[in-house]
Homo-oligomer: A and B are copies of this chain.
Amino acid sequence: MLEAAEVVFASQGVGAPVDEIARQAGVGVGTVYRHFPTKEALYQAIVVDRMTQLVREADGLATAEDPGAALFAVLSRIVEVATQKRDLADALSRAGIDVKTASSDAFGEMRRAVDVLLRRAQAAGVVRADVNLPDLVGLVAGTCLAADHPGSDAGMTSRMLGIVWDGLRTSHAG
């Protein structure tokens, strides 16, 4: 149901009727309303679901062989998801739904998972030791926020993240 709602919101905007979401999910409208009394509740569930998936991916990489690659993979995924879903998040934010507050537990879980990866990468000597979690979160959040800056193009987000990553690493290949 969440996946169906995400597809419908993304293609038709947040004004899409709940019927359409129910049809896409192959359930009755009543079933949707029973689980999610408001469209806001439905959207917040989507965000939390997406964050939970990211946290699961991050946790899955907590014992990866290459701690640097693991951290970079997770940061890339966060930026990818955050920038892809921006339009939807913006539309809902304008509609008065504060996504960040609603999913603050999910954000906390994400910070914890990223912190594990950061510490491992630092312990392995791959990432500089003088960086802390807020610095890293700030740089990644800044990259996401800057991705819709005037003059941005399709490759901008990955170039910016690449630059941040080169700055985070203790050594550089080229």
- A residues adjacent to B (C-beta < 8 A): 128, 130-131, 133-135, 137-139, 141-147, 149-153, 156, 159-160, 162-168, 171-172
Give complex CA distance A149, B144 in Å. Answer: 13
Q: Please tell me if the beta carbons of A160 and B138 are within 8 angstroms of each other in the complex.
A: yes
Per a CB cutoff under 8 Å, which of B150, B164, B171 touches A139? B164
Q: Please tell me if the beta carbons of A137 and B159 are within 8 angstroms of each other in the complex.
A: no
CB distance from A103 to the nearest CB of B (A): 14
Interface residue SS majority, chain A: helix
Chain B residues closer than 8 Å to A163, beta-carbon distance: 128, 131, 135, 139, 164, 167-168
Q: Which of A134, A142, A151 has the most CB of B within 10 A?
A: A142
Known: A142-B142, A143-B142, A172-B172. A149 touches B134 (CB 8 A): yes
Q: Please tell me if the beta carbons of A145 and B145 are within 8 angstroms of each other in the complex.
A: yes
Give complex CA distance A159, B115 in Å. Answer: 17
CB distance from A70 to the nearest CB of B (A): 19
Closest to A139 in B: B160
Chain B residues closer than 8 Å to A147, beta-carbon distance: 138
